[in-house]
Amino acid sequence: MPRSRPRKKYVPPVGFMLILFALFNIVEWPSIDSDDETTAIYDANAEEQNSPLMKWARMPSWKTKLKRIDEIPDEPPDSVLFWHIPKCGGTTAKKLYECMGKTVTTRVGVIPKYGYQDTKELVVFQPYPHQDWKTVNVDTTTLDGIVRAKKMGLVQSHLADVIVSMEMGAAVQHLYTSRGDGRNKGRVFAMFRHPIDRLVSKFYYLQVATWEKSYRPEWKDLTLIDWAKNNKRAGADSNIMVQKLTGEAWSDRVGERDLRVAKKILRDYVVVGLLDDAEESFRRFNIVLGIDPKEERNERCMNELFSSKENSNKHPKVRVLCLDAAVHLHYVHIHAFDVQIEEGSAEWNILSRKNILDIRLYRYIERLYAEQKSIIDSYVT
C-alpha cells in the first residue's frame, strides 16, 4: 500500500489573525461586575485600593483628594462638593441651601455688576439685599472658573458651605488636596434621576428656557422621537454620568471598563440621592453638611419644600423650586417639562440604546442608595 502523506498543520492566514486581534481590542466584553450582583459594597477589604482599574482611569486620585463614605465627617463639616447633574434637581438643591442661609458657589459670584469678577482675593458677599444668603466671587460651574478658584484657595479658605459644579472630575482634581490635616479633602453628594426621564425633561425644558445658554427654540419643531434619533442632539448627551465620572470628553466613547470605574467611585466616595425620594435624599445631604434639622430656619425651609400643597405640580417627579422676594420657597407649575414616556416605546428604546451604561449605572445607584442609609445615619449616632 502507498504510504499516506502526513497531514499539514493548518495555519490561519495572517490577515485573519489580525482581524481577530483587532476585534478583541475593540469590542467591549461584558463585565464580570454584573447588574444583578449582591455584594457588601462597603467592605473596605473587598477590593484593593490600588486596583489597576483605578490606575486605568484618566482621573484625579480620588483616594487622596476625597473622603470615603465610611469616614465620619469632621467638626466643623468637611468641604462639600455638590455634583449638579442637569435636570436632576440641582437648582432645587441650590435654592434649598440658599434658603437655609448657606454660602453657595454659583455663577452669581462673578456677575460683573457686583464688581468682584476680577479680584485676586476671595470675597463673600450677599448678592441680593432682601435674600439672606451669600456666595463667593468664583464660578465653579466652568473649567476656567474652577482653575481660578483653585488659584484663589477656595477650599483651603473654608468660606463656602456648598461648592456646586457640573464638572465633578475637574472640581475634585483642581480644588481638593490631601495636604495638611485632611480638612482640605472633600466630600461629594449628588442627586440622580433615571437617565430617560432626565433626557425627556431636558428636551422640553430647553425649548422654553430663554434664560439658559443652551436654550434651543428650534426643538419646538421636533417630535421627541425625531430629537432622539438625531445624534447631534440627543446623542451628544449620552452616558453623561459615566463620562463625567471617568473624565471622558463629550465626544469620547465609553464602555464596560468605564462603567466599572464609575461604580467604584460612587461606591466609595459619593453620597447618592434619588429625585424620586427627594425628601429623604436631602435629609441625608443635610447630615453630611452638618445642618441641624431642628433649627427653626432649616426646619422651615424643609417644610416649605416638602409640605406645601399650593401650586404643587400635578406631575410629582418634577418640582421646580423658586425663591420669591420674601425668601420663601414655592413650587412652580411647569408641566411641559415632565412628559412621561412608556418604557418599551419607540422613544424609550432609542434613548435607552444611546444611554445603556447610564441606565445600568442608575440601577446600581438605586442599590447604593438603599445601602447608604445606615452609613449616613451613623454619622449622627
- Does the residue 37 lie in any domain? no
Q: What is the pLDDT of residue 78?
A: 77
Alpha-carbon distance 96 to 133, whole Å? 11
Q: What is the pLDDT of residue 137?
A: 97
pTM, two decimal places: 0.78
Band the pLDDT of 196: cuts 50, 70, 90.
Answer: very high
- Does the residue 13 lie in any domain? no
Report whether pLDDT(43) > 70. Answer: no
Residue 133's nearest CA partner among 111, 154, 109 is 109
- Does the residue 7 lie in any domain? no
Residue 98's nearest CA partner among 329, 366, 357, 261 is 329
CATH number of the structural domain spanning residue 307: 3.40.50.300
C-alpha cell at 272: 447618592
Please, which residues bridge with residue 320 across strands? 332
Instruction: Give the mean pLDDT of 40-48.
Output: 37
Alpha-carbon distance 317 to 338, whole Å? 8
Q: How many Å separate Cα 368 from the centre of its chain?
A: 14
Q: What is the pLDDT of residue 45?
A: 36
Alpha-carbon distance 218 to 195, whole Å? 23
Q: What is the pLDDT of residue 64?
A: 85
Determine the structural domain holding residue 107 and report its residue range. Answer: 60-380
Amino acid at 103: T
Band the pLDDT of 5: cuts 50, 70, 90.
Answer: low
Residue 81's nearest CA partner among 200, 206, 168 is 168
- Does the residue 67 lie in any domain? yes
User: Please, where are the H alpha helices in 45-194?
Assistant: 52-56, 62-65, 90-99, 143-151, 154-157, 168-175
- Does the residue 11 lie in any domain? no
Contact 147, 126 (CB under 8 A): no
More confident position, 362 or 238:
362
Share of the chain above pLDDT 70, in %: 73
- Does the residue 369 lie in any domain? yes
Instruction: Give the mean pLDDT of 248-276.
Output: 91
C-alpha cell at 214: 443652551
Alpha-carbon distance 198 to 86, whole Å? 8
More confident position, 358 or 4:
358
Alpha-carbon distance 96 to 94, whole Å? 5
Alpha-carbon distance 260 to 53, whole Å? 8
**Could you read off the pLDDT of 93-139 as tens digits, one per residue?**
999 999 999 999 989 999 999 999 999 999 999 999 888 899 999 99
Q: Parallel, antiparallel, or unpaired for β 124-125 and 104-105? A: unpaired
- Side-by-side strand order, sheet with 270-274: 104-105, 162-165, 79-83, 186-192, 270-274
Contact 301, 328 (CB under 8 A): no
CA gyration radius, the chain: 24
Instruction: Give the mean pLDDT of 188-203.
Output: 94
Report whether pLDDT(56) > 60. Answer: no
Report whether pLDDT(199) > 70. Answer: yes
Domain count, the chain: 1
Q: What is the pLDDT of residue 13?
A: 59
Rounded to 5 degrees, what angle do the CA atoms 93, 72, 98 make?
A: 20
Alpha-carbon distance 31 to 297, whole Å? 47
Report whether pLDDT(344) > 70. Answer: yes
**Cβ neighbours of 303 (radius 10 Å):** 11
More confident position, 338 or 280:
280
- Does the residue 33 lie in any domain? no
Q: What is the pLDDT of residue 309?
A: 42
**Could you read off the pLDDT of 302-323 as tens digits, one per residue?**
998 887 544 333 333 333 333 3
Calculate the average pLDDT of the chain.
Answer: 79
- Does the residue 337 lie in any domain? yes
Q: What is the pLDDT of residue 33?
A: 38
More confident position, 248 or 379:
379
Alpha-carbon distance 300 to 293, whole Å? 9
Q: What is the pLDDT of residue 122?
A: 96
Q: What is the pLDDT of residue 189?
A: 96
Q: What is the pLDDT of residue 117?
A: 92
